[in-house]
Amino acid sequence: MAVKSQEERSIANEDDILDVRNSVKRVTALLNFSLVNQTKIISAASELARNTLEHGKGGKSIIQLVTEPERIGIRLIFEDTGPGIPDLARALEDGYSTGRGMGLGLGGAKRLMDDFDIESKENEGTRVTVTKWTEKN
Ligand SMILES: Nc1ncnc2c1ncn2[C@@H]1O[C@H](COP(=O)(O)OP(=O)(O)O)[C@@H](O)[C@H]1O
Ligand SMILES: [Mg+2]
């Protein structure tokens, strides 16, 4: 099966979150991530997509294949033009939620992935970028 090096979609409803999950699943399987790691990446993608929808008022996701000499990875970018996050450190704490959530999504995604980056500006929006790596095969 062919893999495009980048897949972008808007996140505007629950079905879009399912689509993100399915795309991430397909790409992680193609890259031969272990089943445990596939599950971790899908979980992180779900949490971040849900944040984009619920906290960010919708936005988009970008799934990228990234290649380096010794390793290959999947990079997920979630961005929105929502309210932004005033206190990033606090938002990353387990149990902190401004909604009705468990407050485990951001910290969880950080733990489940290898690289984690978040940029956010109040009243402008949020972009979360996460990557997980595996050996080339
Ligand atoms: N894309 C986003 N835009 C605005 N705020 C966000 C975004 N993502 C996360 N947040 C803020 O960070 C908090 C923690 O996020 P998270 O750990 O996923 O917990 P939960 O989603 O259960 O509230 C959220 O309650 C929200 O205040
Ligand atoms: Mg969340």
Q: Is 44 in the pocket of ligand 1 (CB under 6 A)?
A: no
pLDDT surpassing 60 at residue 1: no
What integer pLDDT is reported at residue 136 of this predicted model? 87
Q: Is 58 in the pocket of ligand 1 (CB under 6 A)?
A: no
Q: Which residues contact 31 (CB under 8 A, 6 or more apart)?
A: 65, 72, 73, 74, 134
> Torsion angle, CA of 17/22/23/25, rounded to 10 degrees?
120
Q: Cα–Cα distance between 66 and 113 in angstroms, integer?
A: 14
Q: Is 96 in the pocket of ligand 1 (CB under 6 A)?
A: yes
Residue ranges covered by each domain of the chain: 6-135
Query: 63-102 pLDDT, tens per residue?
Result: 999 999 999 999 999 999 999 999 999 999 999 999 999 9
What integer pLDDT is reported at residue 2 of this predicted model? 52
Query: 27-48 pLDDT, tens per residue?
Result: 999 999 999 999 999 999 999 9
User: How many Å is the maximal CA-CA distance in the chain?
Assistant: 43
Query: Rounded to the nearest whole angstrom, what is the distance from the C-alpha of residue 137 to the centroid of ligand 2?
Result: 33
Query: Rounded to the nearest whole angstrom, what is the distance from the C-alpha of residue 3 to the centroid of ligand 2?
Result: 28
- Residue whose CA lies nearest to ligand 1 atom number 8: 51
Q: Is 80 in the pocket of ligand 1 (CB under 6 A)?
A: yes
- Residue whose CA lies nearest to ligand 1 atom number 6: 55
Query: 102-131 pLDDT, tens per residue?
Result: 999 999 999 999 999 999 999 999 999 999
Superfamily of domain 6-135 in the CATH hierarchy: Histidine kinase-like ATPase, C-terminal domain (3.30.565.10)
pLDDT averaged over every residue in the chain: 96
Query: 6-20 pLDDT, tens per residue?
Result: 999 999 999 999 999
Q: Cα–Cα distance between 56 and 8 in angstroms, integer?
A: 17
